Amino acid sequence: MAPQKGKQGTKGQKQIVEENAATLHFYRNMIFGANGLYFLLMSFLSDGYSFWDIVLFLFGALITIACFQFMNFMAKPKFSDTNQLLDSGVDLNMESGVAEHVKDVIILTSGCQVVSFFTKYAWFFWLLVPLKGFYYAWTKLIAPWVFAPAPEATAGEEKKQRKFDRKMRR
């Protein structure tokens, strides 16, 4: 497919609602699939559950369900009394939006759950979430504020500074 030239087309509200429903359906199936696969593998192919298996499974399930509910809340459309679409909600497929980061957490957690059947060290991949959060906080909030250049003096401040300098020379 050849790249488009010019401005990217905008989506209609009805299209956003349909795509959000498809996205939520996909991630719901991913969560159920990962939780179900982990449960089945651990139940039938493992020696049993250890305390940490249960804790980490519940932790992963809680995280993925919370992320899914947050995405569901963001994408909830608003309808009028006559069933006319008033607001489509947030576009979950928008690039560089909050939903993209939430989807990343769901994917990472689901992957950790499935791979952790083979090695318990797979849960350490979940440490990528706070590292990514710190990276974004540093690059988007902290570093621009800390390393921002000093503000330029305005005309009023320059006048006050000249007056102060004249007083000091007397």
Contact status, residue 39 vs residue 117, Cβ threshold 8 Å: no
Q: What is the mean pLDDT of residues 20-40?
A: 93
What is the reported pLDDT for 103?
A: 94
Helix, strand, coil shares of the chain as percentages rounded to 5? 70, 5, 30
13-40 core/surface letters (b: 16 or more CB in 10 A; e: else)? eeebbebbeebbeebbebbeebbeebee
Cα–Cα distances in angstroms (integers) from residue 85 to residues 6, 72, 75, 150, in the given order: 29, 17, 13, 48
Q: What is the mean pLDDT of residues 117-122?
A: 88
pLDDT band at 8 (very low <50, low <70, confident <90, very high): low
Q: Residue 50 has which token pair?
A: 């250890």
CA distance 70 to 64: 10
pLDDT above 70 coverage of the chain, percent: 91
The domain ranges of the chain are: 13-127
pLDDT band at 39 (very low <50, low <70, confident <90, very high): confident
Cα–Cα distances in angstroms (integers) from residue 134 to residues 38, 62, 100, 129, 146, in the given order: 29, 22, 17, 9, 15
**Tens digits of per-residue pLDDT, 136-166?**
899 988 988 888 777 665 667 788 888 888 8
Q: What is the mean pLDDT of residues 51-65?
A: 91
**Tens digits of per-residue pLDDT, 66-83?**
999 999 999 998 888 888
